[in-house]
Structure 1
Amino acid sequence: MHETAHALGEARTLWELVDRRAALTPGRPVLLQGDRTLTFGGLRDGAERAAAGLYAMGVRPGTVVAWQLPTRIETVLLSVALARLGAVQSPVIPFYRDREAGFALRESKAEFFAVPGEWRGFDHTAMAERIGARGVFEAYASLPDGAPSTLPAPPVRGTDVRWIYWTSGTTSDPKGVLHTDRSLIAGGSCLAHALRLSPDDVGSIAFPFAHIGGPDYLVMLLLYGFPAVLFEQFALPGALAEYRRHGVTTAGGSTAFYSMFLAEQRKQPGEKLIPTLRLLAGGGAPKPPELCHAVVREMGCLLTHGYGMTEVPMITMGSPDDTPENLATTEGRPPAGMEIRIVDGEVRLRGEAVCQGYLDGGRSADAFDSDGFLRTGDLGRITESGHLVLTGRLKDVIIRKGENISAQEIEELLHRHPAVGDAAVIGLPDPERGERVCAVVERAAGAEDLTLDAVTAYLRGEGLSVHKLPEQLEVVDALPRNDTLRKVLKYKLRERYA
């Protein structure tokens, strides 16, 4: 089976990978959600029908289609349908609101925008109208449908840019990250081969499929031929019934997920939380070694953690055959096709899984060094065994539940508040979230005291996404600064409030 997976991983395009897997195991399930099951053959055939429907709407190879949809079977079908057409797709995280979604649509010049209608109390269709989106259509319970015989030939080049993913990074506006089918297949292959999975496994996707981890996971399912349970909304203990019902063997997502599972396990010590679970796996945020040891000890399963980012969906990954110490203290090893270079302590990367740059060409020029290595902004070192250890970040970014949050964006909004003289936003260690968002503000002269509720209400009113809202507020007379350019010394704030 491992040889078959490696052969499939050589597919030029995502659609070729879908088609080849469907020919191998058409009747095996790939997606499970509630009482619904979609097979590999059904994924191929349903995506072709949806592609024909999109084609009839005017979507052509190269057409930019943005979509902001929850984790559903229809979402995966739509994404694969766009891959079949050779369209350029721009997934937008479902909890982005007017500010971020509007920016993504304008920058990508999207000609179509798929939304879920009203979802979880928010009207995405109304938002699409407010931000001037073009070609808006709802794709929640049903998709465009047509006859596959009307379709042009599928794309054959896997190195063309067909994906625009969005990451906050260190700037206030999101950055459009350019990917190809081959870069996403390379990232998913790294994940799949490291985890040593088999057709007998049952996975789970409890994070937004619009995240770069979505295609990562889909590629893994296609390579190894096993299914995953989809969670449109994830919360514990509510989701446990689905994990148990489908016999999930591998779960996870990020450090926050590990903490949530462990908290539930501690409510019933001695009784395995998910009887079939043998592996928790994920990435996206720092992983405290003690958390890894606690999961293994109390949940009775392995925990393998990896390192990835929107620009490079999978860089390194822990493997079940790693030592307990390496699993707890490192981010795993890179695959054969990933070159890691440490320059002045910074991790730099080159390989097929690395993105093609950014939508903003100026940012692309700054992102790569003269040898073509991507500057990650992360600090780290390589051990004698070839494992990567991350030691910090150059970038001023907060990683909360695996999602990048720009401190600068929140600071710029806080600076507009009449009661704020100055502001600094930092990430603080948090056992459940990886990091929590803390706003430290100088009170403006003569202003009344600020409260966390008042600040978050103001930021909501400014259109900031809920997942970026501060969870902690500290009001100070003066922010600590250096003696030269009066730059705020954030490390002192982290030391003070951690």
Structure 2
Amino acid sequence: MKATRLDDEHARRTIDAGFWAGNLIDGYLAAAAARTPAAVAVVDRGRSWTYGELDGAVNRFASALRSRGVVPGDVVSWMLPNWAEAIIVHLATIRLGAVSNPIIPIYRHQETAFILRQAASKVAVVPHLFRNFDYPAMVDDLRAEVPALETVVVVGGEPGRPSFGDLLAEGREDPIDVGRTSQDIALLLYTSGTTSVPKGALHSHDTLDHENRSIIEFFGLSAADVVFMPSPVGHIIGVLYGLQLPFMLGSTVVLLDVWEPGRALELIEQHACTFTVAATPFLHGLVHHASLPERDVSSLRVFACGGADVPPELIRTATMALGCTVSRGYGSTEYPTATACNVSDPVDKRARTDGRPIGPAEVRLTTDGELEIRGPELFLGYLDPELNAAAFTDDGWLRTGDLARIDADGYVEIIGRQKDIIIRGGENISAKEIEDHLVEHPAITDAAVVSSPDPILGERVCAVVVSRPGTEVVTLPEIVDWLTARRMARQKLPERLILLDELPRNASGKVQKFRLRDLARDDASREPTSTTDMEVTR
């Protein structure tokens, strides 16, 4: 697999400037295992993995993948929770010279089929069962749609299927050498945007390595730090700070697979966790959980919060409640962390802004206020090269689609979005995708989807629909059932419904979504007492 935008001149300039250091992502684990094989690398579901055990497992899994026909450039997709197995699959794939493709476990048939098909995935690794969902059965349903898929590996296993344990038993611990370079593509990660299909972003060892080295320097991290990772490892946050950064430090990562704030506080206390990066719901959950006063979380020194709108008051409250540096930050799958604040920044800046550019990151505003960014960790284009023209300016800046302002001190504040997406708890949800299904409902003649503000998740999905004449007025439960039957991921299901006689449109016929967002904001100010309370007729 080749980057769709990387050219020799760009690579040379970045290397000459010292931003790309030529490091291989999995090389940090191997080096740490050689130095301190008995040190604890991972804590997961009550079990600890040492560096020696983890590195040996990565070698064995890589060897088993190779024996099953995976070669450099092939895509290995995996759909795993925050488990040690995800670390092993990710780093083993990279060590083999193949491309790691995480898929978040909340995705279902529609999203998973698209990704496996476009990525031409050769192997997929899934859990046997997670949160009562049967992943092998889903993949069985999709096999006819993904002809490149040769092997499905099941964590937890079941008779008649290759299991994760089988592959570990098959593999050898001898180091693998396939002649890689740091400019090779290591990660294919899909991000949802304004369109109804996800976009596959390509990152190399160099771009990922620079991101983590800049974060280590910015927050002053060292081997003494313990990383707590509740963010899904199928997201860019989880990949970077759960699957890679801890091993660059030679430190420990503590994983949490199912979010529960009480359990999170327990783990932070038990393992003296010092650093985490997570979205707004995680921070809100910790700060407002009843057990917080009973837990000693004094070890925690940095909570970097991003991925969704972060209320300024939450930053101030969390700073006091947790007694640590709590900071907003701005980034994306395409450019993981462009801006943030650290301990040297005033609390007011941490609360009101999304931070200042980190290291060599550059930011600028267009005449209409859109934020554009560029720097050494900028991704190397989309798997579908036709998407690049709209994403990049002629001089190589990424068009974020986000509206911002930059204050006199250089701090960036995101004030809105051009992208027609909803960010629910850090998840990017395409409005168009949901709309495309809603308008096919027999009782709906017109539909639009907008965000509804939420103090915990940042935003929720609000459906605004026009009922078809001569039919019963559609209800929120009916809409949810309709979309569920179409196997849409749960987080995309509308949680608020507004019924209108017609959608507001401009002279060219485009829906005036700013007006619908105003309606949704007004309706969200009402405290619902039941599901039916969240249905509003206007």
TM-score scaled to structure 1, two decimals? Answer: 0.93
Partner in structure 1 of residue 97 of structure 2: 86
Shift of 1:286: 1.4
Partner in structure 2 of residue 4 of structure 1: none
Shift of 1:159: 1.3
- The structure-2 alpha-carbon separation of the partners of 1:40 and 1:470, relative to structure 1 and needing over 3 Å to count, comes to same
Partner in structure 2 of residue 172 of structure 1: 196
Shift of 1:191: 2.6
> Is 1:14 equivalent to 2:25 in the alignment?
yes
Aligned-partner residue type, residue 42 of structure 1: E
> Is 1:470 equivalent to 2:494 in the alignment?
yes
2:279 to 254, 264, 276: 254
> Is 1:414 equivalent to 2:425 in the alignment?
no
> Is 1:28 equivalent to 2:43 in the alignment?
no
1:402 to 398, 404, 426: 426
Distance 1:148 1:268 in 2: 46
Shift of 1:298: 3.0
Distance 2:44 2:389 in 1: 43
Partner in structure 2 of residue 57 of structure 1: 68
Contact 1:164–1:179 (CA<8 Å) still a contact in 2?
yes
Partner in structure 2 of residue 111 of structure 1: 122
Distance 1:364 1:10 in 2: 26
Contact 2:95–2:176 (CA<8 Å) still a contact in 1?
no
Aligned-partner residue type, residue 254 of structure 2: V
SS in 2 for 1:126: helix
Partner in structure 2 of residue 448 of structure 1: 472
Distance 1:90 1:47 in 2: 16
Structure 2 runs not aligned, ≥5 long? 1-17, 157-163, 522-538
| Greater displacement, 71-80 / 187-196 | 187-196
> Is 1:136 equivalent to 2:151 in the alignment?
yes
SS in 1 for 2:216: helix
| Greater displacement, 111-120 / 405-414 | 111-120
> Is 1:202 equivalent to 2:226 in the alignment?
yes
| Greater displacement, 35-44 / 371-380 | 35-44
SS in 2 for 1:78: helix
Distance 2:178 2:408 in 1: 45
> Is 1:127 equivalent to 2:138 in the alignment?
yes
SS in 2 for 1:99: helix
TM-score scaled to structure 2, two decimals? Answer: 0.86
2:77 to 57, 66, 83: 66
Contact 1:183–1:352 (CA<8 Å) still a contact in 2?
yes
Q: Render the CA deviation track for 1:388-423: whole Å, top value 9, x for unaligned.
A: 211211111111111100000000010100111111
Contact 2:266–2:295 (CA<8 Å) still a contact in 1?
no
- The structure-2 alpha-carbon separation of the partners of 1:149 and 1:455, relative to structure 1 and needing over 3 Å to count, comes to closer
SS in 1 for 2:26: helix
Aligned-partner residue type, residue 447 of structure 1: T
Partner in structure 1 of residue 526 of structure 2: none
Distance 1:402 1:292 in 2: 16
> Is 1:369 equivalent to 2:393 in the alignment?
yes
Partner in structure 2 of residue 221 of structure 1: 246
1:328 to 345, 351, 364: 351
| Greater displacement, 28-37 / 94-103 | 28-37
- The structure-2 alpha-carbon separation of the partners of 1:293 and 1:481, relative to structure 1 and needing over 3 Å to count, comes to same
| Greater displacement, 150-159 / 197-206 | 150-159
Distance 2:176 2:38 in 1: 26
Aligned-partner residue type, residue 301 of structure 1: C
Aligned-partner residue type, residue 249 of structure 2: Y
Shift of 1:154: 4.2
Distance 2:60 2:298 in 1: 38
Aligned residues: 489
Partner in structure 1 of residue 48 of structure 2: 37
- The structure-2 alpha-carbon separation of the partners of 1:308 and 1:383, relative to structure 1 and needing over 3 Å to count, comes to same
Shift of 1:269: 7.5
Q: Render the CA deviation track for 1:14-48: whole Å, top value 9, x for unaligned.
A: 12232233334433222111331122333222211
Query: After the TM superposition, which residues 469-488 of structure 1 pair with which residues of structure 2 at under 5 Å, given as runs?
Result: 469-482=493-506, 484-488=507-511
Shift of 1:290: 1.0
Distance 2:198 2:313 in 1: 33
SS in 1 for 2:442: coil
- The structure-2 alpha-carbon separation of the partners of 1:81 and 1:439, relative to structure 1 and needing over 3 Å to count, comes to same
- The structure-2 alpha-carbon separation of the partners of 1:412 and 1:333, relative to structure 1 and needing over 3 Å to count, comes to same
Shift of 1:375: 0.8
1:491 to 514, 523, 527: 514
2:407 to 355, 366, 383: 383
Aligned-partner residue type, residue 156 of structure 1: R
Q: CA RMSD in A?
A: 2.1
- The structure-2 alpha-carbon separation of the partners of 1:447 and 1:192, relative to structure 1 and needing over 3 Å to count, comes to farther
Partner in structure 2 of residue 186 of structure 1: 210
Partner in structure 2 of residue 97 of structure 1: 108
| Greater displacement, 240-249 / 165-174 | 240-249
- What is the percentage of aligned positions where both structures have the same residue? 37
- The structure-2 alpha-carbon separation of the partners of 1:8 and 1:52, relative to structure 1 and needing over 3 Å to count, comes to farther
